[in-house]
Amino acid sequence: EVQLVESGGGLVQPGGSLRLSCAASGFTFSNYWMHWVRQTPGKGLVWVSRINSDGSNAIYADSVKGRFTIARDNAKNTLYLQMNSLRAEDTAVYYCAREVTYKSSWYLYRWLDPWGQGTLVTVSS
């Protein structure tokens, strides 16, 4: 069974740091790009970051650029999100998700499946 399990969430003070992990199983982790997406009641689902299959390229949402770092350890089948200089507005449930691609003629379709169950990050004093 393809599965993603996040961990590492918790309560942290503004300006603090936290590292999230996402353990993957049931598929060849090193073949897939991976994403972090967060969810808040007010903003819904918001994309955070993506890393390519060998970890050599990563992109970030403007709201977290320079503060968050995505990484992966393909030997451990694990995805990470290092979060520094945390702010109250980073409070959210964080999900990891696998990117699946499908090529049809000239088109390369991408979607996120599966997703993990999420881990809650609360930034508050």
Partner 1 sequence: DIQMTQSPSSLSASVGDRVTITCRASQTISSYLNWYQYKPGKAPKLLIYAASSLQSGVPSRFSGSGSGTDFTLTISSLQPEDFATYYCQQSYTTPVFGQGTKLEIK
Q: Which residues bind partner 1 (CB under 8 A)?
A: 4, 35, 37, 39, 43-47, 50, 59, 61, 95, 97, 100, 102, 104, 107, 109-118
What would the two tokens of residue 43 be?
Answer: 């903003």
12 vs 112, beta carbon nearer partner 1 = 112
Work out how close the CB of 14 gets to partner 1 at its nearest, in angstroms, rounded to a whole number: 25
Give DSSP secondary structure letters for 62-104. Answer: TTTTTTEEEEEETTTTEEEEEE-S--GGG-EEEEEEEEEEEEE
Residue at 3: amino acid letter: Q
Q: How far is the CB of 44 from partner 1 (least distance, A)?
A: 4
